[in-house]
Amino acid sequence: MSSIADNIESVTRRIQKATLQAGREPGSVRLLAVSKTRPPEDLLAATQAGQMAFGENYVQEALDKMTALNAVEGIEWHFIGPIQSNKTRQIAESFSWVHSVDRLKIARRLSEQRPKSLGPLNLCLQVNVNSEDTKSGCSLAELPELAAAIGELPNLNLRGLMAIPDPDQSEAELRKSFRQLANALTDLKEKYPEAGQFDTLSMGMSDDLEAAIAEGATWVRVGSALFGNRPTKQSQS
């Protein structure tokens, strides 16, 4: 069985190869280890292999891991799951990135609750690129108005967009979905340059990261290819 360190090395090679094939700058794509449901021991093993950015979906689980790994310097915590209003304070106080904002109400709460001592909270807007009923995210049509409004809020740094396209699409369809997100980011950058940095595309996972990188991903969110198949997890927040 491959170790977590071996898996990180393998995925890193995939990212580097895809980046080169896309004609992009080396190092322009970062690996976000999706560590939801994984024990702190797995995250510690990943940090020992040089992986320091982790994506979590459940607030309390993430806070427990932050406590367990408190002695490890340099860990970067990203919240990537659906956001409940009653969890925004904990997210604002504990994470450096949030990839899954899709409502102005949530952005306002994060802005109001972000401690100024921590600096602005890096934010991505989640877009439902395939208009799936089961997926969170704003529509492409709603995106410009939402981005413009969030750009006026203090304590937030609007970095870009996130999407989870339908995994059952063909590779060509996946590429099209990723391209739609990249084009939407370019449009925001041109129309609302003061609203945010617009330098981030959080898209691509274990099975489709090459397609995402070809279309401009700057963060790829990888879980199973690093940690193995995820154990069954009951719903939590």
Give 137-164 pLDDT, tens digit per residue.
999 999 999 999 999 999 999 999 999 9
CA distances 145 to 16, 104, 125, 126, 149, Å, are: 35, 10, 12, 14, 6
Residue 137: closest CA among 153, 121, 125: 125
Pair of tokens at residue 112: 């109001």
Helix ranges (H only) for 104-166 are: 104-113, 143-150
Domain ranges of the chain: 4-227
Give 24-43 pLDDT, tens digit per residue.
999 999 999 999 999 999 99
- Report domain 4-227's class: alpha beta
Distance CA 12, CA 18 (A): 10
Q: What is the pTM of this model?
A: 0.95
Pair of tokens at residue 156: 């937030």
Instruction: Provide, rounded to the nearest whole percent, the portion of the chain with pLDDT above 70.
Output: 96
- 123: enclosing H helix or E strand: strand 121-126
